[in-house]
Structures are given as structure tokens and as C-alpha cells.
């Protein structure tokens, strides 16, 4: 019997998830069908239950429903609980809804496996203190960086993360201006500036020699953040397409018990940063 999965978001027409999971299914000979669903903004919970009750096995969740996905779950993972958000649900017996957050795991996999940027012993900076950063903190901490810093336009929001994760990570938190005089080996833009085309007020000297500048947004070419990095002399820049593919592979493994090779999907989706 063909198993059914879906991605839910609003809007959803741009989603690459159906393509990615169809490539994974072909590569692993899994009998699944994967569709895209766009619930009304106030209809996420109803759409999830309807999909589950019709025999669906699991869903991916994208904006703006990741917080609601966590709230609807009856069995969230520790990652999802600390992030306060979920990007993947799995349905079990008796109406069980399990939730996990694979965004940070996908990010780390992309950095270390696809981009050959190990995090152990490195100075890592996350820009932004929203849900994307929350989801990334535990997976990055597990790789034992020398320093993990979070900076945000509103420093108080970054400081709140330090308190929330105090039992799990030793974070340096600040506003952007307080980064002056510091440099980092990996700088990750987890803000929405890549979508809004805003320029972040970053101090000079932020990028260490040989640094990697990573934009979580994908498919937008050289965002203002990546242009800032290049203007500062950074030669290694990347967008979040690898993160997208790798988190999808984590979800596929959670659902199907096998992790697909991601090379074909990465080759299909990667576009030059120009």
C-alpha cells in the first residue's frame, strides 16, 4: 500500500519538498506519495487531523505553522521542546502525534558534510534570535565549538535565549554593535533579512580569515548578508539549500527508517550565487 506524506505551509506553491521527497523515494525504492497542502492561516490543526484521519503517515511543516505544529503534538522531542517549534510530525496509534525539529540537524549536516566546515573548536556566530536560531543551538552545541554566540537587533531577545538554554549550552549573547572587535570562523544569518533584502548593521572585522558566511534563506542568490560578507573579503559563501535537503533527509529517515543519499537532490536544487 502506498503511504501518504505531505508538506503544510501558507503559501506552499514555492515548496521544493515534494520534489525532494520524490527523489528520495526513487533512490530508496519506497512506495510513497508526497503532496503539498496549503491550509487557511487559522486552519492548520484541522488540516493536520484531516490528513492523519484519512490515513496520512506524517507531514513536514513550513512557515508560518512551525509553532502550531509543536503545540498540536502529543509527543514532542527535546529538540522541538527547546525550540518551541516543530518542522516534522509523525502519526502513531491512538491519535499519537510525534513532533521533531530537524532544521538544526540539517544545518549542521550541510555545514560539515557538504561544505567541509567542521564546527569543533571554531568560533560560531548566529545572527538573529528567533525560531531558526532556537532550532540550531542544540545541534551546533553538540559539535563542541570553541564559542557559540548569538546576536540580535534587540539584545534582550538574545539574552533570553541564553537563559532558556543555560542547562544545555554556554552562549555569548549581545546586540550587533557589541560584536565589534570580535571575529568568527562561521557566521550564520538566521534572520529574515534574506527575504526582506534588509542589510544588517554588522561591525567591521566580523569574519575571521577563511571564514564561511552562511545564509539560511535559499534560492535568492546573493542576499545582502552574503554581499556584506564578500565585501569584507569572504570567499566562502553558501545559502540554505543544503540545509533544506538535509533536514528533509532526516525527516525521511524518521518516517521510513532509512536515510537517503542527498547528492542528487542537492545537484538538482543548487543554483549559483550570483
- The pLDDT tens digits for 191-231 are 988 777 889 999 999 999 999 999 999 988 999 999 999 99
Q: Chain-wide mean pLDDT for the chain?
A: 96
Q: Reply yes or no on whether the pLDDT at 150 is more than 90.
A: yes
235, with CB counted inside 10 A (0-12, 13-18, 19+), is exposed
Model confidence band, residue 181 (pLDDT cutoffs 50, 70, 90): very high
Q: Given this model, what pLDDT does residue 123 score?
A: 98
The 10 Å Cβ neighbour count of residue 57 is: 17
**Is 85:131 a contact under the CB 8 Å cutoff?**
yes
Q: Any idea which residues carry the catalytic annotation? A: 66
CA distance 39 to 112: 35
Q: What is the pLDDT of residue 274?
A: 79
Domains and CATH numbers, the chain: 3-101 (3.40.50.10860), 104-241 (3.40.50.720)
| % of the chain exceeding 70 in pLDDT | 100
The cell 564561511 sits on which residue?
212
Amino acid at each position: 500500500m502506498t503511504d501518504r506524506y505531505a508538506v503544510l505551509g501558507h503559501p506552499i506553491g514555492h515548496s521544493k519538498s515534494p520534489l525532494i521527497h520524490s527523489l528520495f523515494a526513487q533512490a530508496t525504492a519506497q512506495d510513497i506519495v508526497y503532496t503539498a497542502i496549503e491550509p487557511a492561516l487559522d486552519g492548520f490543526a484541522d488540516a493536520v487531523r484531516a490528513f492523519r484521519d484519512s490515513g496520512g503517515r506524517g507531514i513536514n511543516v513550513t512557515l508560518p505553522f512551525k509553532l502550531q505544529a509543536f503545540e498540536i503534538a502529543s509527543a514532542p522531542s527535546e529538540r522541538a521542546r527547546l525550540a518551541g517549534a516543530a518542522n516534522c510530525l509523525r502519526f502513531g496509534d491512538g491519535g499519537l502525534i510525534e513532533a521533531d525539529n530537524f532544521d538544526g540537524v540539517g544545518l549542521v549536516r550541510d555545514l560539515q558534510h557538504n561544505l567541509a566546515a567542521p564546527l569543533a573548536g571554531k568560533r560560531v556566530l548566529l545572527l538573529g534570535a528567533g525560531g531558526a536560531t532556537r532550532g540550531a543551538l542544540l545541534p551546533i552545541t553538540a559539535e563542541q565549538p570553541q564559542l557559540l554566540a548569538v546576536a540580535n537587533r534587540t539584545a534582550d531577545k538574545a539574552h533570553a535565549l541564553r537563559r532558556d538554554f543555560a542547562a544545555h549550552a554556554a552562549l555569548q549573547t549581545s546586540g550587533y554593535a557589541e560584536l565589534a572587535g570580535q571575529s568568527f570562523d562561521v557566521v550564520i544569518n538566521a534572520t529574515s533579512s534574506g527575504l526582506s533584502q534588509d542589510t544588517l548593521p554588522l561591525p567591521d572585522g566580523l569574519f575571521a580569515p577563511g571564514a564561511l558566511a552562511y545564509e539560511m534563506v535559499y534560492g535568492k542568490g546573493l542576499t545582502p548578508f552574503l554581499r556584506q560578507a564578500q565585501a569584507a573579503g569572504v570567499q566562502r559563501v553558501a545559502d540554505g539549500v543544503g540545509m533544506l535537503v538535509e533536514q528533509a533527509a532526516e525527516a525521511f529517515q524518521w518516517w521510513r527508517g532509512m536515510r537517503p543519499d542527498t547528492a542528487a537532490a542537492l545537484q538538482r536544487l543548487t543554483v549559483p550565487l550570483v
